[in-house]
Amino acid sequence: MIILGIDPGLANTGWGVVETRGSVCRARAYGCVSTSSSESIDRRLGKIYEGISKAIETYAPSQLAIEKIFFGENSRSALATAHARGAALVAAAEAGLELGEYTPMQIKQAVVGTGSADKRQVIFMVRNILALDHDPRPDHCADALAAAICHANLTRTQRLTREGAAVQVFEQKRAQEELDAATARSVTAAATAARLAGARGEASPPWSCQAEQEEHPMIVQLTGTLVEVLPSHVVIDVGGVGYELGVSATTAASLPAVGEAGVTVLTRMLVKENAVELYGFATREERAVFDKLVAVSGVGPKLALAVLSTFSPATLATIVTLQDEGRMAQVPGVGRKKAQRLLVELQDVFAKDATLRGLVGMSEPAARQSKVPDTSQSVTEEATAALLSMGFSPQEAELALDGHEEAGAVTVEKAIQFALKRIGGNL
**Residue 208 clears pLDDT 60, i.e. is over it:** no
With respect to residue 76, please indicate whether it lies within any of the assigned structural domains: yes
Instruction: Give the CATH number of the domain where residue 407 resides.
Output: 1.10.8
The sheet with strand 12-21 has its strands ordered as: 24-34, 12-21, 2-7, 63-67, 98-102
Paired with 269 in beta bridges are 278
pLDDT computed for residue 65 by the predictor: 92
Establish whether the linkage from the previous residue to 61 is cis, with ω within 30° of 0.
no
Instruction: Give the CATH number of the domain where residue 121 resides.
Output: 3.30.420.10
**Residue 103 clears pLDDT 80, i.e. is over it:** yes
pLDDT computed for residue 422 by the predictor: 77
**Residue 129 clears pLDDT 80, i.e. is over it:** yes
Across the chain, mean pLDDT equals 80
Same domain, 333 and 399: no
**Rounded-to-integer distance, Cα 89 and Cα 69, Å:** 13
Q: Which domain holds residue 40?
A: 2-158
pLDDT band at 4 (very low <50, low <70, confident <90, very high): very high
With respect to residue 170, please indicate whether it lies within any of the assigned structural domains: no
pLDDT computed for residue 29 by the predictor: 93
Same domain, 85 and 141: yes
Average pLDDT over residues 126-155: 89
Same domain, 235 and 328: yes
Please check whether residue 343 is in contact with residue 331, taking contact to mean a CB–CB distance below 8 angstroms.
no
Same domain, 398 and 331: no
Q: Which of 63, 65, 72 is nearest to 107 (CA)?
A: 65
- Provide the 3-class DSSP secondary structure of residue 318: helix
Same domain, 120 and 247: no
Paired with 34 in beta bridges are 12
**Residue 203 clears pLDDT 80, i.e. is over it:** no
Same domain, 23 and 123: yes
Q: Give the contacts of 313 (CB within 8 A, at least 6 positions apart).
A: 283, 285, 286, 288, 289, 359, 360
- Inter-CA distances, 371 with 321, 366, 367, 385, Å: 11, 15, 12, 27
User: 235-250, pLDDT tens digit by residue?
Assistant: 999 888 888 999 998 8
